[in-house]
Amino acid sequence: MTTPDEYDYLVVGAGPAGSVVASRLAEDPGVRVLLVEAGGRPRSFLLDMPAALPFTYQSTRIQWGYQAGPEPHLDGRTIDEKTGKVVGGSSAINAMIFNRGNPMDYDGWAALGLPDWSYAHVLPYFKKMETWEEGADDWRGGDGPLHVSRCRAEHPLFETFLRAGEQAGFEVATDHNGYKQEGLHIAQAFVHNGIRWNAARGYLRPALERPNLQLLTHALVEKVVVEGGRATGIVVSGPHGRRTVHASREIVLSAGPFNSPKLLLLSGIGDADDLHGHGIDVAAHVPAVGRHLENHPGVDVQFGTRHADSLTSQIGLVGRAVLGARWLLTHRGLGASNLFEAGAFLRTRDDADFPTMQYEFLPLTRQLRGGKVVPVPGFQFWMDLSRPESRGQVSLRSANPADAPSIVFNHLADPRDARDLLDGVRLAREIARQPAFARVTTGELSPGADAVTDADLLAYLRRRVGTSYHPSSACRMGTGEDSVVDDEGRVHGITGLRVVDASIMPKSVTGNLNAPIVMMAEKISDRIRGRAALPVATAAFHRSGGTRWSPSGPT
């Protein structure tokens, strides 16, 4: 029989993974589940309004405020990392873009010794999680908790982008989350009836109606309690003091790609020498904790247009008021858009069998002018590197749980990453110089027409590279000393403890991470509950071929 401070399962973090795990575990009425979240419940309508994305990015109340750096290969700069500190986690503040990754990503995981994570094994869980507005088929789900819609992409520049891509020799993908990812596309988003549809709304909100699931907010987990090699509880502090909560079955860390490795280290799970340096007793020597950190480094390529041809013509002071009022009354119009309504997955190298670059196309630009970031008539390509080779680390600054972790991505440490990004800039320029864009563009704004040589563009990258807020892999799955958890998320050397979030990805995927995180949480939830895995899928997918681009042109 459990006590008020004892549960069967403790889940740390109410982000996309934690919301899924807690809700699925609570489907078993005989267990008690406590979900612990450092932030609070969302209170502002701006978190529901897709077009309010810039405001959610700027709000410090609902974020951890972490920075990465100094980055040794980016002139020592620091990079802001947007991570949600609110129920829903980063799915409550992100750009809502729905991308699964490339099927070859998951077959690559399988090749690393994780056979149950091949595309055939994960596709059923992608289907389970979603309701795709265009209906179920061999690749898509039709009755899952998360609603996915195709963006309306009504601004004329989105059509211009697609036509220019075709003129440059590329195809437009019918469904880039179906048979074939590669090509240009109209984006898909976690938006339903004009509202952000995040993991908390799709999974957690209905699950909280069950009496066996409790949500504790404004609670900072300081560490996992480990006794005799078993995780038995967590130490939690908050407005009502500090206490220990016990788990009779398991503890699941879904604290995110920065905080999950941080919590393992604070709990004595990590490299023994590093832990001793902070005065932390070693519970398990797992040297890979915090290492192999990945992210998708990216940069803007911007072009000017006349005011009338850009979305800036609709978002002046009056335009924003009309946009907001219409959305509040009807949940329609531009307020129901995440603005990232078209994109592409393209290859920049002949020797790549996967898209090396992801592009998000926006029919507006923003630039720093007069000390302020202001909208500028134009359009831009946000481009990021799909599978970077550079690796970073999450480590402790101190043994104080209130201190932010040290985060260094080491972007561009591997020269192959710089080469791919240089080619990515040139490919964006190639698309922008096609006839479809000729009638609207007034010239390149950044890097600028004078940035021609590799040295020019590399200097631009060092000044401007940021990330797509896709950190992963600092607690990666595997079988050897280079990994932290096994193929079911169980931490090496400790019983009763799992990690389930982006940090356990053995390698990042070709695309945004929210959908893969939910898929992983669904899959591991079945394992925790002792349920049989869903039947292996047989749907085919596009492996190679199609147009490859190189600086000398399409091949």
What is the identity of the amino acid at 53?
L
What would the pLDDT profile of 286-314 be if each residue is shown by its tens digit?
A: 999 999 999 999 999 999 998 888 888 77
Angle ∠(265,268,270) on CA atoms, nearest 5? 55
Other residues' Cβ atoms within 10 Å of the Cβ of residue 306: 13
Terminal CA-CA length for the chain: 67
Whether the CB-CB separation of 381 and 158 falls below 8 Å is answered with no
The pLDDT, as a whole number, for residue 4 is 65
CATH of domain 6-540: 3.50.50.60
- Could you tell me the pLDDT band of residue 544, with boundaries at 50, 70 and 90? low
Average pLDDT over residues 523-552: 82
Closest to 463 measured CA to CA, from 68, 195, 77: 77
- Could you tell me the pLDDT band of residue 549, with boundaries at 50, 70 and 90? very low
Other residues' Cβ atoms within 10 Å of the Cβ of residue 76: 10
The whole-angstrom separation of Cα 332 and Cα 482 is: 48
pTM of the full structure: 0.95
Average pLDDT over residues 109-135: 97
- Could you tell me the pLDDT band of residue 547, with boundaries at 50, 70 and 90? very low
Average pLDDT over residues 21-32: 98
Residue 546 has pLDDT above 70, yes or no: no
Strand (E) or helix (H) holding 55? helix 53-58
Average pLDDT over residues 541-554: 58
What would the pLDDT profile of 420-469 be if each residue is shown by its tens digit?
A: 999 999 999 999 999 999 999 999 999 999 999 999 999 999 999 999 99
The pLDDT, as a whole number, for residue 94 is 95
What would the pLDDT profile of 382-395 be if each residue is shown by its tens digit?
A: 999 999 999 999 99
Mean pLDDT of the chain: 94
**β strands within 116-229, DSSP E:** 130-132, 146-150, 183-186, 188-189, 191-192, 195-196, 213-216, 220-227
Going by their DSSP bridges, the two strands 130-132 and 146-150 should be labelled as: parallel
SS3 102: coil
Whether the CB-CB separation of 147 and 131 falls below 8 Å is answered with yes
Structure tokens at 336: 């129901």
The pLDDT, as a whole number, for residue 351 is 84
- 470 in catalytic set: yes
Task: Write the DSSP symbol of residue 200.
Answer: I
Average pLDDT over residues 375-404: 96
SS3 241: strand
**β strands within 170-296, DSSP E:** 183-186, 188-189, 191-192, 195-196, 213-216, 220-227, 230-238, 241-253, 269-270, 284-285, 291-293
What would the pLDDT profile of 65-87 be if each residue is shown by its tens digit?
A: 999 999 999 999 999 999 999 99
Residue 551 has pLDDT above 80, yes or no: no
Closest to 125 measured CA to CA, from 423, 521, 546: 521
Burial of 71 (0-12, 13-18, 19+ CB in 10 A): buried
The whole-angstrom separation of Cα 237 and Cα 266 is: 14
Structure tokens at 143: 């009755």
What would the pLDDT profile of 89-105 be if each residue is shown by its tens digit?
A: 999 999 999 999 999 99
Average pLDDT over residues 403-411: 98
Catalytic residue from among 240, 470, 492, 542: 470
